[in-house]
């Protein structure tokens, strides 16, 4: 029961942060918003020119081989235990590894639970914005 409450609270926190960030972006002046890269494919979780993922033919493992057992299971059909296995790996990664990890999971046909997908998206977007503004 406590785990369910923590999970719901975490999900709500992520949702509130995502909504706040979207509203904050709308308030920014057009000059402050970076122009999208015309070569971007629009798949922001997997498209990173810096990682050269287009040349990678095999998935890269992030000490997460046990997740291969979750291949071809749709995210909505993952058990709580299976979703927690994905969360545990996600929370051990460095922010700079998130994009490559998500791409690796896609190559391995492993779906992310919605909460992990949203959090990964926020991290990747933040990194892109930092690179666009020259901040590190």
Model pLDDT for residues 76-102, shown as the tens digit of each residue:
999 999 999 999 999 999 988 998 899
pLDDT band at 43 (very low <50, low <70, confident <90, very high): low
Domain ranges of the chain: 2-133
**Model pTM above 0.75:** no
Q: With 70 as the cut, is the pLDDT of residue 45 above it?
A: no
Quick one: CA dihedral 5, 126, 118, 29, positive or negative? positive
Please name the residue that has the structure tokens 């909504």. Answer: 19
Burial of 22 (0-12, 13-18, 19+ CB in 10 A): exposed
């Amino acid at each position: 029961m406590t785990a369910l409450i923590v999970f719901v609270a975490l999900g709500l926190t992520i949702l509130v942060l995502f909504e706040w960030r979207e509203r904050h972006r709308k308030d920014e002046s057009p000059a402050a918003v970076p122009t999208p890269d015309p070569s971007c494919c629009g798949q922001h979780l997997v498209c990173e020119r810096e990682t050269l993922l287009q040349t990678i033919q095999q998935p890269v493992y992030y000490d997460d081989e046990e997740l291969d057992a979750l291949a071809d299971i749709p995210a909505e059909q993952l058990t709580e235990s299976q979703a927690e296995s994905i969360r545990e790996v996600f929370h051990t990664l460095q922010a700079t590894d998130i994009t490559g990890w998500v791409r690796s999971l896609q190559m391995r046909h492993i779906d992310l639970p919605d909460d992990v997908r949203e959090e990964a998206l926020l991290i990747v977007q933040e990194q892109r914005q930092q690179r666009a503004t020259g901040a590190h």
